Structure 1
């Protein structure tokens, strides 16, 4: 592969990694930029909502003259076809990839790149993926409408089961064999099937990202399950689509009661994992590991910085003198909706930081669109390896009064509905936020 081609791929990877799009992520092993892993998070308001869909991208020596080869690896070990254009065997049918005959002007050009490919794949994950099937435009009958609804229903169920629940269960070593009615499936097989030819060890670059996002979207998962439980009885079979054939189907039964129990177990396991970091951190201190001294130094420097900052008032402490557990107390700024508030926030830091990012939990209840009812804060630090950047992002997420609408950052569904609702609903949001601020001193 030419140096020019490698430089082009490296630049594209860097642009996506530095970008603000919360629905795309890319990674590669060390300097092997020819073999890329990509993660697409399912778009809101679709049956793929907040699912974790992984792909391999293999660039040839001719890139960007020729498109890379893209393979889906979130396929239930080759058993599940998530879209008419995303096959259970991993084939992704797109005109820009040369895997589908498109209209003139839709074919690949060197002006396109990795991000445009991922956005094109993401566009297949629509509210009605049945429309991606050739001949859909002629589907007008009630029978066809029934098929469309049935297809959406089973994609929603399997997106939750396979791309979210089973992925996280494998990450957390949760034994599915002990869950009644659960078919055993090893998600690692998906990852191995997409591993680089030269590497036998499974490459899982998105493990921590998926864990953090699961905590963000937990309420959305639960709400979706509760809504679907009203429509589908446990044990009802999925309907087969006309375009599904042998070896390329999505078969199974609705099991939403089981999914709800499993998703709650995952949430609790993730919280237990973050709590365990405190013990692991003290051991790192005892062994005088560099990460312990590094975090201690960052804590001291950040504390000094905010002592000199008159615009923001915070108290920053170590819980039991442990540099892996920080307590941030934020005092609401005057003349804002947070005025008079006192908010206690716990930051658990992994000994594997920054490869594993902190977990941030509000101990003080607050009604806020970026803070879930469980106290999970949705924020994104610009510099992942710098705790000062994390503190700044935490404060910014709480204080921002006129954020741009982005459903991927809304982790309190009731608060978000009011915040972006009609004027009367926005007033209700402000009243409930102010009430929680006034009550915050009771929890400080």
Structure 2
């Protein structure tokens, strides 16, 4: 059973890692597949929206006959209960895990697995988690409605504070006691440093990239909620909270906004400094530098033979860790006549750290945030040409499937998936930015 169990777990992990679900991620350390880390990104249009919630999953030797043990890690050090079914101490109450009595047929079966467990946990992160508490499923009184709104309000605040701001500050080494004191980035130290092998942070790069994707959405949430909840207002206590298993605190959206802005500045600085780290790697003749140089040359040759795409490519300062792309809009499309300057920064830790892409030409587009962050998904994350392919596909796609987890430009998304008149407005704004792009590019070339 033990060998079969390991094979089953391994297959499930590989299937999830190769899957297309952008809201779930799994990883394990070294070869210990029985101890898995999982990340759930909070569902859109809920108080958990785009938060980063981590769980530890431990598979016993009897799996899949018996369910694994699951514990929440994102609990503010055991002080915050994010859901009636997700306790501050980490317990996750689900009938399929055997941690809660459910209806007949809801218990664990070997047909279920890691993905179904995570989807079940994700389903708890609803727009009205107050109803998850037993006995409150059909609460309709004015008292309950008031509590429902208050519960959603404090979860929204703590999702941003704990699952996003605290997590990213830890990753970036930002001191929460004095967040303005950001340690300056040292390229040489970064190039020579080694990670503490005792630490296991498998989702660090993913959360950094997703923070850049969702930054505008976070700020939009803060703007909306701060109008309703003044700084210093104490969280309401729910009737089912108690005995050290609560969500206590006060609203302070002014502070949260400032913290997110600092995180964004630090991430932008980190991205830019990849160029300096890359120069050191070239100087030291490291293998990653030579590999990226080859990949650049091969990618250039590939696109020279591709008549359907017109793109200019060069290395910034001959640095293989910074690629400059200029994409020409295809004729007979909304991008016709446009020239889009795109910069791709690559880490010396690639592919463990994925490239960060900035569309430098102002562009009104559902996949481009107002500050130029591009949302794209490479089919082969370990191959740079696949990233270039995905960048082009993301910008050129004029009929994308609706996926709220890829909405990096809230205003553009609202228009694109709105009424027919709003869709027309989106196309007008896109065309206007396309027309402006050719003028901007001409000015850049004249200045050069």
Which bracket does the TM-score occupy, shorter chain normalised?
over 0.9
2:307 to 289, 305, 310: 310
CA distance in 1: counterparts of 2:7 and 2:18, whole angstroms: 16
Q: Which residue of 2 aligns with 1:269?
A: 266
Residues in 1 aligned to 2:179 and 2:329: alpha-carbon distance in whole angstroms? 45
Deviation at 1:443, TM superposition (A): 2.4
Of the candidates 390, 395, 400, which is equivalent to residue 397 of structure 2?
Answer: 400
User: In structure 2, how many angstroms separate the alpha carbons of the residues matched to 1:353 and 1:443?
Assistant: 32
Output one character per residue of 1:201-241: Cα deviation in whole Å (capped at 9) or x when no partner. 23100000000000000000000000011000100000000
Q: Which residue of 2 aligns with 1:178?
A: 178
Pick the aligned partner of 1:320 from 317, 325, 333: 317
Q: Which residue of structure 1 aligns with residue 166 of structure 2?
A: 166
Preserved contact between residue 131 and residue 139 of structure 2 (Cα < 8 Å): no
Q: Which aligned runs of 4 or more in structure 1 are off by greater than 6 angstroms?
A: none
Q: Residue in 2 aligned with 1:209?
A: 206
SS at match of 1:396: helix
Note if 1:347 corresponds to 2:344: yes
Q: What is the CA–CA distance in structure 2 between the aligned matches of 1:83 and 1:303, rounded to whole Å?
A: 51
Report the CA distance between 1:200 and its aligned residue.
Answer: 8.3
Per the TM alignment, residue 101 of structure 1 is displaced from its structure 2 partner at its CA by 0.3
What residue is the counterpart of 1:20 in the other structure? 20
Q: Helix, strand or coil: the match of 1:366?
A: coil
Residues 1:167 and 1:91: Cα distance change in structure 2 (over 3 Å): same
Q: Deviations over 1:119-169 (max 9, x none)?
A: 000000000000100011342211111111100000000000000001000
**For each residue in 1:331-390, what CA deviation from the matched residue of structure 2 results, as whole angstroms up to 9, or x when unmatched?**
001111111110000001111111000110011011000000000000111111100110
Question: Matches of 2:240 and 2:165 in 1, distance apart?
Answer: 27
Query: Could you tell me how far apart the structure 2 residues matched to 1:23 and 1:137 are?
Result: 26
1:130 aligns with 2:130: yes
CA shift at 1:400, angstroms?
A: 0.8
Tell me, in whole angstroms, the C-alpha distance in 2 between the residues paired with 1:45 and 1:126: 9
Q: Determine the C-alpha separation between the residues in 1 that align with 2:300 and 2:197.
A: 45
Deviation per residue, 1:51-79 (Å, 9 max, x gap) = 00000000000000000000000000000
Cα-Cα RMSD: 1.1
Q: Are residue 371 (structure 1) and residue 349 (structure 2) matched?
A: no
Q: Does 1:415 align with 2:412?
A: yes
Distance 1:333 1:200 in 2: 48
Q: Which residue of 1 aligns with 2:37?
A: 37
Aligned-partner Cα distance in 2 for 1:382–1:175: 36
Structure 1 distance, partners of 2:138, 2:118, is: 28
- Specify which of 331, 336, 341 is matched with residue 333 of structure 2: 336
Establish whether residue 259 from structure 1 lines up as the match of residue 263 from structure 2.
Answer: no
Post-superposition Cα deviations, 1:91-116, rounded to whole Å, max 9, x if no partner, equal: 00000000000000000000000000
Q: Distance in 2 between matches of 1:124 and 1:210?
A: 21
Distance in 2, matches of 1:179 and 1:267, equals 12
Which residue of 1 is the match for residue 446 of structure 2? none
How far apart, in 2, do the equivalents of 1:424 and 1:148 lie? 35
User: Residue 67 of structure 1 corresponds to which residue in structure 2?
Assistant: 67
Is 1:152 the counterpart of 2:152? The answer is: yes
Residues 199-208 or 224-233, more deviating: 199-208
Whether the aligned pair in 1 keeps the contact of 2:179 and 2:262 (CA below 8 Å) is: no
Partner in structure 2 of residue 194 of structure 1: none
Separation in structure 2 between the aligned mates of residue 143 and residue 201 of structure 1, nearest angstrom: 48
1:106 corresponds in structure 2 to 106
**Equivalent residue for 1:190?**
none
Distance 1:335 1:138, change over 3 A: closer
Q: Secondary structure at the residue paired with 1:340? A: coil
Q: Secondary structure at the match of 2:250?
A: coil
Equivalence map 1:205-244=2 (5 Å): 205-244=202-241
TM-score (norm 1): 0.95
* Distance across 2 between alignment mates of 1:246 and 1:360: 47
Taking the aligned partners of 1:5 and 1:359, their CA distance within structure 2 comes to 38
**Structure 2 gap ranges (5+):** 181-195, 442-448
Count matched residues: 426
Cα contact 2:70–2:92 (8 A) shared by 1: yes
> In the TM superposition, what is the alpha-carbon distance from 1:179 to its structure 2 partner?
4.5
